[in-house]
Chains A and B, each alone.
Chain A
Amino acid sequence: MTQQAAAQRLEQFLGRVPYVRFLGMRAELAGDEMTAILPFAPHLIGNMVLPALHGGVIGAFMEMTALAQLSVIAPSAKVHKTIDITIEYLRPGKAMTMYARADVRKVGRQIANVHVEAWQEARDKPAAALRGHFLLSGS
């Protein structure tokens, strides 16, 4: 797979899902490794006192990161479906940009197992992590 094909698949995924635009999420590719980026926006706040990002936003961002990475390495005309996710919250999400990377542990015939980690200021101080199973749509 060329870098160009990977970039096209990713752009296609990010561009066609309305909820990705609602979050304001984008992504960058280095080879087939993707970094998802969630720039801070006021509508993402879940706690006005701290202020902190909404936990559901962080979970959703990591879930969309997994689906975006899968769109690159397991391309399909249809959107893959989430079966289950387990989200671990490690630190409050500050009112600043969040990043995430997906580690696709296995792509089987039907199921993909994906781990995601999200961070803000430092990669080694993750804000949250996700483990999920995804049902692959046929290509």
Chain B
Amino acid sequence: MTITPEALRDAARHMVETVPQASALGFKLISVEPSRGSIFTPWREELVGDPDTGVIAGGVITALLDHVCGLAVTSRSLEGGFLSTATLDLRIDYMRPAAPRADVTANAHCYKLTRNIAFVRAHAFDADPEDPIATAQAAFILKRAAP
């Protein structure tokens, strides 16, 4: 089964912009291709984690990294006929706080897909992709469609 870039983009936009939590956080799809995805999160007052600095909360970065990892897995597994995926584990390292009032972007790459498991890496940054705020490593379980 193959999927056209247009169909992939539609599915990805649905996943990034209409899932209630994703929509509540204001996620916007930047790009998607099989095994890769990128999502943008605009800064908002109510997403702040440290009122002294106005820096976006670590929890928002956690949700963003989980979501972009899921996007990378789904974009790759759509071609393989998987029904759904679920996060098994997610490890996040916070390198530094985001800049005050900064928007955050996250990119993910699903670098290995086995019969049952997908392995993903992602990173989040505010201005420069080479200077990440946080990096993530995740494993997802794949639920196959019944034969």
- Give the size category of B's interface with A: 35 or more
B94 and A83 contact, CB distance less than 8 A: yes
Nearest A residue (CB) for B58: A82
- Give the size category of A's interface with B: 35 or more
Smallest CB separation, A5 vs chain B (Å): 21
B59 and A60 contact, CB distance less than 8 A: yes
Report the separation of the CA atoms of residues A44 and B48 in the bound assembly, to the nearest whole angstrom: 17
Smallest CB separation, B91 vs chain A (Å): 5
Report the separation of the CA atoms of residues A44 and B52 in the bound assembly, to the nearest whole angstrom: 26
Contact with A along B64-103 (1 / 0, CB 8 A): 1111001000000000000010111111111001000000
B63 and A60 contact, CB distance less than 8 A: yes
Which 4 residue pairs across A and B have the least CB separation, nearest first? A56-B63, A60-B59, A19-B57, A56-B66
Q: A46-B20, A82-B94 given. 6 additional CB < 8 A pairs?
A: A54-B22, A57-B21, A85-B62, A86-B89, A86-B90, A87-B92
25 example contacts (A-B, Cβ-Cβ < 8 A) are as follows A17-B50, A17-B51, A18-B47, A19-B49, A22-B47, A43-B20, A43-B23, A44-B20, A46-B21, A55-B86, A56-B63, A56-B66, A56-B67, A57-B63, A59-B92, A60-B58, A60-B62, A64-B59, A78-B50, A79-B49, A86-B90, A86-B91, A89-B87, A89-B89, A89-B90
